[in-house]
Amino acid sequence: MKTLCSPALKDIRLTDPVLRFRQERCFDSTIPAVIAQTLKSGRIQAFALKWKEGMPDKPHIFWDSDVAKVMEGMAYTLALSPDPDLEKIYEEWVDLICSAQQPDGYLNVYFTIVEPEKRFANLMYDHELYCAGHLIEAAVAGYEALGKRKLLDCLCRYADYLCSVFGYEEGKRRGWPGHEEIELALAKLYRVTRKENYLKLLQYFINDRGTSPNFYVESEGKNSAALMQVQAVRPVREQKKAEGHAVRQIYLACGMADLAALDQDESLLTACRELYDNITLRQMYVTGGIGSCFAQERFTVDYDLTNGNLMYAESCAAMGLAFFAWRMYNVTGETKYMDTVERCLYNGILSGIGLCGDKFFYANYLEMDENHSSRFSRTREPWFDCACCPTSFARFIPQFGRFLYSVDPTEELVMINIPAANHAELELNGRKIVLDIAGKYPYDGMIKITVGTSGRFALQPRIPGWCGKYSLCLNGKLQENWCIRRDWNAGDVLELDLEMPPEWIYSHPKVTSNSGRVAIMRGPLVYALEEIDQNVPVRSLILKTSSPLKIVSSAFEILKDVPVLEGVAESETFPDESLYSTQPPIVSTVTFRAIPYALWQNRGDTNMAVWMRRS
């Protein structure tokens, strides 16, 4: 197995036209917005443990996780953009959270003040271990990003308590998280503390899950449908396809990948590979969205990928898939995994948050029209009662830099995963590797990489799976070997050219929702047609794939410098207002325009579609 490492967040400074803007907007809009909503809803105040029956703002079983994700986002933000006022809030919240810890180390607001008699009584549905996992992640973030130990020490005491409760040993109880998350959190905690008990608990939660006799059947009386929803029908190494709740499944996969790397466990890595292949080859939207069924937020069956009201593609799930694929890339070095990270990042993730930074989609639809009806709005919302997605953006966006590079200390190799413009100062075996990447990626494939370090090491840019033609020049000389190992001089320049013509994308015929339809991609970007750009209803269009697509400018300021695609289509007009007619539609030739899917619904409420009928 590979042991690739990702850089510390402070080592990367974004300068590109997409990720930098989103990250800055996160700092000045998203973080303040989720802090305000966390206060308004009473989530953070609940840690004072003063709530009594009959009082407003009754704590919920998953509130701790929302607070934890905001804390994680604050820690990363402070590492990248120091702010004394934000740091004061962070410290106050740390103090309040730590004050809620019980003498035995237990830390959960709901099961301390609302139903203390039900601690660990319903592991499948009550989110205790899920909340513990997010609190641990927040604690590790505060320590790694800011060097702060108070929250880490607090959560180590909680983790110690959990180690005393769960496990194989006599006197401990069986039990698995109903909503997976603590698995990957334990891996993080083990890496920063090297305490074997945390690795041992991670091994237990992964290796015992789904084994016979089944804990959920024996202790909680659950049926097979419930077991599938939480990935507990069978042991993890026997699960060949993604099933059940999408976020639960993808968080479990992250934990499995972490444990495979820590234990150098080839059988577990094989199981991760099988899950990944099933998801990306059979159950993933073209945008990187996963979880195709609105009901229970779940995976269904292969090729079931509807585009409208019945679909789901939760924002949290796309972020989870990016985290899983990133882990798989770092343990294998195989670029197909980074292709998926990039697909999620530029499409199914960024679509979930508005350019304003404080409005969010929970579900990410691939088509929208006036007949849309679901529990989610047509437009982004500032908050949700179940606030997992807004708080996930608060912690995910500051971590963009993690995905751009991987370092292989054994090979003395720096891998450029995503060539977004940035300034990087990377640690490689005790020395600093300085790189400056310039360009307009993902809007343009011309990338300039300037090396700011002298010395011998290897540098390897990734060739994306979507790119059919590319070149690499070193100081003006064309290179044949993509991995360049040499004695570098400060000022050496690599010029990477990734050609990215607009392309028509077709789906497998088993995806019946897309029969006779086509989508558009350019480079890593999926495009969408918004009605605001058309002179006719968007669903009346039939795209002519025989006509070329060209890049044009837009009259909308919000799309300044964004490549907008233009092509030819036919538009159908029904002869009258009848529901049915013996007369065929009237057909006219029109021009259509498409914008990056991640930018849709930022210019007001409008209809949209990704998969369009084709001539």
H or E stretch including 550?
strand 550-552
Whether residues 119 and 149 share a domain: the answer is yes
Question: Does residue 464 form part of some domain?
Answer: yes
Q: Is residue 13 part of a domain?
A: no
Within a domain: 181: yes
Q: What does the pLDDT read at residue 144? A: 97
Residue pair 359/9 in contact (Cβ under 8 Å)? The answer is: no
Residue 198 confidence (pLDDT): 98
| Residue 373 confidence (pLDDT) | 67
Average pLDDT along the chain, 615 residues, taken 10 residues at a time: 93 97 98 98 98 97 98 98 98 98 98 98 97 98 98 98 97 97 98 98 98 93 92 97 98 98 98 98 98 94 93 96 98 98 98 98 94 79 96 98 97 98 97 98 98 97 97 97 96 98 98 97 98 96 98 93 98 92 95 98 96 96
Distance, CA of 498 to CA of 469 (rounded, Å): 7
For tokens 């094989």, name the residue. 270
At residue 375, the pLDDT reads 66
Last residue of a domain, one of 379, 402, 425: 402
* Residue 541 sits in the same domain as residue 456: no
Query: How many Å is the Cα radius of gyration of the chain?
Result: 25
Domain-embedded: residue 348: yes
Which 8-state DSSP code applies to residue 61? T
- Domain total for the chain? 4
pTM above 0.95, yes or no: yes
Residues β-bridged to residue 541: 571
Q: What is the pLDDT, as a whole number, of residue 129?
A: 98
Task: Examine the domain organization and report whether 281 and 371 are in the same domain.
Answer: yes
How high is the pLDDT of residue 220? 86
Q: Are residues 557 and 606 in the same domain?
A: yes
Task: Supply the pLDDT for residue 221.
Answer: 87
% helix, strand, coil for the chain, step of 5: 40, 20, 40
Active-site residues, by number, are: 297, 388
CA distance 344 to 323: 10
Distance in angstroms (rounded) separating the CA atoms of residues 63 and 414: 40
DSSP assignment of 499-558 equals: ---EEEE---TT-GGGTTEEEEEETTEEEEEEGGG-SS-GGGEEE-TTSPPEEE--S-GG
- CB-CB neighbours of 476 under 10 Å: 7
Sheet containing 405-408: order of strands: 405-408, 413-416, 455-461, 484-488
3 state DSSP class of 485: strand
Residues 435 and 315 in one domain: no
Of 124, 203, 136, 117, the C-alpha closest to 167 is 203
Do 490 and 457 form a contact (C-beta atoms < 8 A)? no
Whichever domain contains 470, its CATH number is: 2.60.40
Residue type for 125, please? Y
Tens digits of per-residue pLDDT, 427-465?
999 999 999 999 999 999 999 999 999 999 999 999 999
If asked whether residues 524 and 462 sit together in one domain, one would say no
Of the residues 352, 384, 402, the one at which a domain ends = 402
Q: How far apart, in Å, are the Cα atoms of 465 and each of 252, 272, 336, 340? A: 26, 20, 7, 9
**Please, which residues bridge with residue 568 across strands?**
591
60 shares a domain with 103: yes
For residue 469, give its domain range: 406-498
Peptide bond into 442 cis (omega under 30): yes
Q: Which residue do the tokens 């004050």 mark?
A: 99
Please name the amino acid found at residue 140: V
**Cα–Cα dist 409/406, whole Å:** 10
Is residue 469 located within the same domain as residue 507? Answer: no
Residues 205 and 267 in one domain: no
Q: Which of 468, 498, 528 is the last residue of a domain?
A: 498
The predicted structure's pLDDT at residue 326: 98
